Amino acid sequence: MSAVPVASDQARLDGRRVAAALLDGLRAIGADGVGITRETYGPGESAAFDLVERTARDHGLVTARDAAANLVVALPTAPGALAPSASAPCVVVASHLDSVPHGGNFDGAAGVVAGLLALLRLHAAGVRPARPPRLMALRGEESAWYGKAYLGSSALFGRLAPEDLALPHRAGGGHTLAEAMAAAGADLARIRAGERLLDPAAVAAYFELHIEQGPVLVARGMPTAIVTGIRGNIRHSRVLCRGEAGHSGAVPRWLRRDAVFAFADLLTRLDDHWRVLQEQGLDLVVTSGIVGTNAEEHAISRIPGEAAFSFEVRSQSRDTLEAFYHLMRTECRAIESARKVQFIFDRRLDAAPARMDDALVKRLLAHSAALGLPAETVPSGAGHDAALFANEGVPSAMIFIRNDKGSHNPEERMDMDDFLAGTELLHRALAEAAGAGEGA
Ligand SMILES: [Zn+2]
């Protein structure tokens, strides 16, 4: 372990170089010929963890892996941050390093790199904060691989159920989440027991920097913004609509049990409800992102006997989520009797919405104003680990960085100047929450 004490201005200059090198390294690890693929609890994610850990150690920080195989980084002067307790709490800055298949390089990774830079600044300043800062690279934030999000942080709080651990890999026929976690070094016995690997009372504050995944900051010309809340969701990975196959020319309309028409009917009804609820001012988005007939038997001339689809509703309000889900199930029952089909649901998956901490949001807005950045707030339509920490009672806050072309695709684009502005903001808020003072 080699400490490299440098003046904070020098550290700021180094920040750009360290960030560029780390983001390039992460890009090289994840490059798949189309975009970036770093699989949840898979080799790409693990290699990314190794790179961040090596970089942290090379700069004199100390590191550890927790029982959920998350990476933890702390100042060498505050190794207690590696194992905080309610009587000696830490402040956490975190994000994730996995990606969706053919995703982009910055979704998740930007937050880990920003957190590392913030710690390096504090290290360079030689401070000994009262509440030591702790960078966490969290495992498995993306739901793309096992159908459930926030896996590393859920494991931390004893919130992975046996059904979660048995979730199959998206490719099917392969391994389960539990097997992938064990291979990455997680302690499955403790996780299966629902043990709290991290006491929420041991975390005084949680910060997460993330690229914005929608178009708002670009449209409003804002490099950064502060998040007010995170939408939750209710999902089904697979709903099967079962009707009856038949000859497309020979079966009259009144005798048909067409699964695709039934599914289309459902979507039309849900869209009507969505429009009405939105007009009433409710926060709501509805998506059916995976749709298909059975490829082994479908044909132009065959009435589809089966249609399978995914269902997702997101909202900042728990009540709206439940109300819309209830509407969906009610419409399914109506369509079942009208069209003589059956809807068969797989397990319902829930992610609770979360409010960010008012006091931390205010501080981030004040720091934004002091830095000449927009003192503006936005909601987060996408889910983040911050929601898990907030719902465990940890005061939590998020910084969004402007990002052209959305995320979960190879085109996502983040400007290094925007990133460094957000990192400066993160550094100030983190130092303050840690009790390290403004000058750190
Ligand atoms: Zn993300």
Q: Is there a single domain that holds both residue 304 and residue 191?
A: no
Ligand 1 centroid to residue 209 C-alpha, Å: 10
- H-type alpha helices, 126-224: 151-156, 162-165, 177-183, 188-192, 216-220
Q: Is there a single domain that holds both residue 304 and residue 358?
A: no
Q: Is there a single domain that holds both residue 331 and residue 416?
A: no
Q: What is the pLDDT of residue 440?
A: 47
Q: What is the pLDDT of residue 2?
A: 35
Q: What is the pLDDT of residue 9?
A: 52
Ligand 1 centroid to residue 343 C-alpha, Å: 32
Ligand 1 centroid to residue 247 C-alpha, Å: 46
Q: What is the pLDDT of residue 45?
A: 97
Q: Is there a single domain that holds both residue 115 and residue 224?
A: yes
Ligand 1 centroid to residue 426 C-alpha, Å: 17
Ligand 1 centroid to residue 150 C-alpha, Å: 10
Ligand 1 centroid to residue 315 C-alpha, Å: 18
Contact criterion met (CB below 8 Å) for 62 and 73: yes
More confident residue, 409 or 344: 344
Ligand 1 centroid to residue 175 C-alpha, Å: 24
User: Domain boundary at 311, 328, 351, which?
Assistant: 351
Q: Is there a single domain that holds both residue 240 and residue 221?
A: no
Q: Is there a single domain that holds both residue 162 and residue 176?
A: yes
Ligand 1 centroid to residue 106 C-alpha, Å: 8
Q: pLDDT digits over 229-254, tens only?
A: 999 999 999 999 999 999 999 999 99
- pTM value is 0.86
Q: What is the pLDDT of residue 12?
A: 52
Ligand 1 centroid to residue 141 C-alpha, Å: 7
- Rounded distance between C-alpha atoms, residue 31 and residue 201, angstroms: 39
User: Domain boundary at 351, 386, 406, which?
Assistant: 351
Ligand 1 centroid to residue 307 C-alpha, Å: 31
Question: How much is the average pLDDT of 150-165?
Answer: 96
Whether 383 shows a pLDDT value over 50: the answer reads yes
Instruction: Tell whether 132 is covered by a domain.
Output: yes
As separate numbers, helices (DSSP H) first and strands (DSSP E) second, the chain gives 13, 17
Ligand 1 centroid to residue 92 C-alpha, Å: 17
Instruction: Tell whether 246 is covered by a domain.
Output: yes
Residue 337: give its domain's CATH number: 3.30.70.360
Q: pLDDT digits over 253-278, tens only?
A: 999 999 999 999 999 999 999 999 99
Ligand 1 centroid to residue 320 C-alpha, Å: 24
Question: How much is the average pLDDT of 168-194?
Answer: 92
Range of lowest pLDDT (99-113, 162-176, 413-427): 162-176
Q: Which two tokens stand for residue 372?
A: 């000449």
DSSP string spanning 90-124?
A: EEEEEEE----TTB-SSTTHHHHHHHHHHHHHHHH
Whether 1 shows a pLDDT value over 60: the answer reads no
Question: Percent of the chain beyond pLDDT 70?
Answer: 96
- Report the domain count for the chain: 2
Which residues, chain by chain, have CB under 5 Å from ion ligand 1? 107-108
Q: What is the pLDDT of residue 10?
A: 52
Q: Is there a single domain that holds both residue 222 and residue 334?
A: no
End-to-end CA distance of the chain: 22
Instruction: Tell whether 2 is covered by a domain.
Output: no
Distance of CA 47 to the CA centre of its chain: 19
Ligand 1 centroid to residue 107 C-alpha, Å: 5
Q: What is the pLDDT of residue 433?
A: 96
- Rounded distance between C-alpha atoms, residue 380 and residue 170, angstroms: 26
Q: Is there a single domain that holds both residue 221 and residue 259?
A: no
Q: Is there a single domain that holds both residue 223 and residue 363?
A: yes
Ligand 1 centroid to residue 377 C-alpha, Å: 19
Ligand 1 centroid to residue 238 C-alpha, Å: 23
Ligand 1 centroid to residue 96 C-alpha, Å: 7
Residue 411's pLDDT band (cuts 50, 70, 90): confident
Phi/psi region, residue 278 (left: phi>0; alpha: psi -120 to 50; beta: rest), is: alpha
CA distances from 110 to 116, 326, 416 (A): 10, 37, 10
Residue ranges with strand state E in 297-370: 302-303, 306-315, 342-345, 348-351, 354-355
Ligand 1 centroid to residue 19 C-alpha, Å: 18
Ligand 1 centroid to residue 391 C-alpha, Å: 18
Instruction: Tell whether 1 is covered by a domain.
Output: no
Instruction: Tell whether 440 is covered by a domain.
Output: no
Residue 178: give its domain's CATH number: 3.40.630.10
Ligand 1 centroid to residue 104 C-alpha, Å: 10
Ligand 1 centroid to residue 142 C-alpha, Å: 7
Range of lowest pLDDT (27-41, 279-293, 406-420): 406-420
Instruction: Tell whether 194 is covered by a domain.
Output: yes
Element housing 359 (H / E): helix 358-370
Q: Is there a single domain that holds both residue 300 and residue 408?
A: no
User: Domain boundary at 327, 351, 375, which?
Assistant: 351
Q: Is there a single domain that holds both residue 364 and residue 343?
A: no
Ligand 1 centroid to residue 189 C-alpha, Å: 28
What CA dihedral angle connects 252, 254, 259 and 264, to 10 degrees? Answer: 110
Ligand 1 centroid to residue 39 C-alpha, Å: 13
Instruction: Tell whether 136 is covered by a domain.
Output: yes
Instruction: Tell whether 3 is covered by a domain.
Output: no
Ligand 1 centroid to residue 308 C-alpha, Å: 27
Whether 70 shows a pLDDT value over 90: the answer reads yes
Q: pLDDT digits over 326-356, tens only?
A: 999 999 999 999 999 999 999 999 989 999 9
Q: Is there a single domain that holds both residue 28 and residue 129?
A: yes
Tell me what the pLDDT averaged over the chain comes to. Answer: 93
Task: Give Dmax over CA atoms of the chain in angstroms.
Answer: 82
Question: Percent of the chain beyond pLDDT 90?
Answer: 86
Whether 7 shows a pLDDT value over 60: the answer reads no
Ligand 1 centroid to residue 182 C-alpha, Å: 23
Q: Which two tokens stand for residue 244?
A: 């009856």
Ligand 1 centroid to residue 183 C-alpha, Å: 23
- Rounded distance between C-alpha atoms, residue 77 and residue 123, angstroms: 8
- Rounded distance between C-alpha atoms, residue 328 and residue 322, angstroms: 10
Quote the domain boundaries for residue 260. Answer: 233-351
